[in-house]
C-alpha cells in the first residue's frame, strides 16, 4: 500500500512539474528569439553605416549559402543573408531553430552612401505593417516560432500558417501583420516581428545621418 501511495504521489509531482518545465523552455526560446532579432537588426544597421545601404535578402531556398542577392526589387523578401553579414547560421534562427524572414524595401539596398540613404528614406514605402508601427517599415524581421510559416530548405513555407496574420507573414509579399499572441487553436499567432522605419532605424542604432 505504501508503495502504491508513493507512486501515486510521484506521478502527481511529475504531472505538476512537467508543464512548468515546458513553460520555462518556451519562455527561454522566446527570450533567445527576441535577443537574436535585436542582434541581427543591429548587424543590419552596422552594414548600412559601413556601406551606405542595406543588403538584399538571400534566396528563399538558401541556394547561395546565405549570400545576399546581387540585386533586388520592390518589396524584397527572403532569408537573412547571414554569410554576407558575417553571421553564423545559428544567429539567424529563432529559439525553435526556424529561420527568420527578412524583408527590405529594395530602394534601401541601392544607395551609394549613408547620406543618400538618409535623404531618400522618406520614399522607402514598399513594405507595409498592419496592427503595429510603423505602417511602412524600411526593414522587417519575422520570427515564425513553433507555428508554421518559416522558410524550408527548398524555399517553400512550413505548413501551419493558413489564416490571418500568420498567413500574411508567410506569403512572400511586402505586407506583414501583427496580432494578439495566441498560443494555439484556429486563431494561433506566435510570430514575433521587429520592424523599423526611418528615422527610428538609424536613431535606435546610434547612426547619425549626415546633414542634408
pLDDT at 11: 45
- Distance between CA atoms of residues 200 and 34, nearest Å: 18
In a domain, 11, yes or no: yes
Domain that holds residue 87: 2-204
pTM value surpassing 0.85: yes
| Domain count for the chain | 1
In a domain, 211, yes or no: no
In a domain, 209, yes or no: no
Which grid coordinates are listed for 22?
515546458
- Distance between CA atoms of residues 162 and 1, nearest Å: 52
Residue 125: Cβ-neighbour burial (10 angstroms; 0-12, 13-18, 19+): middle
In a domain, 210, yes or no: no
In a domain, 87, yes or no: yes
pLDDT digits (tens, 9 = 90+) for 20-68: 445 567 888 889 999 999 999 999 999 999 999 999 999 999 777 899 9
Amino acid at each position: 500500500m505504501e508503495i502504491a501511495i508513493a507512486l501515486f504521489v510521484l506521478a502527481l509531482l511529475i504531472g505538476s512539474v512537467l508543464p512548468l518545465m515546458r513553460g520555462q523552455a518556451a519562455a527561454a526560446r522566446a527570450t533567445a528569439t527576441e535577443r537574436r532579432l535585436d542582434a541581427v537588426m543591429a548587424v543590419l544597421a552596422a552594414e548600412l553605416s559601413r556601406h551606405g545601404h542595406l543588403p538584399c535578402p538571400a534566396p528563399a531556398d538558401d541556394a547561395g549559402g546565405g549570400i545576399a542577392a546581387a540585386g533586388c526589387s520592390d518589396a524584397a523578401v527572403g532569408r537573412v543573408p547571414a554569410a554576407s553579414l558575417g553571421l553564423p547560421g545559428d544567429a539567424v534562427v529563432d529559439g525553435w531553430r526556424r529561420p527568420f524572414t527578412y524583408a527590405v524595401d529594395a530602394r534601401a539596398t541601392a544607395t551609394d552612401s549613408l547620406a543618400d540613404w538618409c535623404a531618400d528614406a522618406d520614399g522607402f514605402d514598399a513594405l507595409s505593417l498592419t496592427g503595429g508601427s510603423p505602417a511602412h517599415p524600411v526593414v522587417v524581421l519575422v520570427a515564425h516560432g513553433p507555428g508554421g510559416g518559416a522558410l524550408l530548405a527548398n524555399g517553400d513555407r512550413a505548413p501551419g500558417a493558413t489564416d490571418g496574420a500568420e498567413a500574411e507573414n508567410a506569403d512572400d509579399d511586402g505586407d506583414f501583420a501583427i496580432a494578439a499572441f495566441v498560443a494555439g487553436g484556429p486563431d494561433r499567432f506566435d510570430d514575433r516581428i521587429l520592424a523599423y522605419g526611418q528615422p527610428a532605424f538609424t536613431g535606435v542604432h546610434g547612426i547619425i545621418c549626415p546633414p542634408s
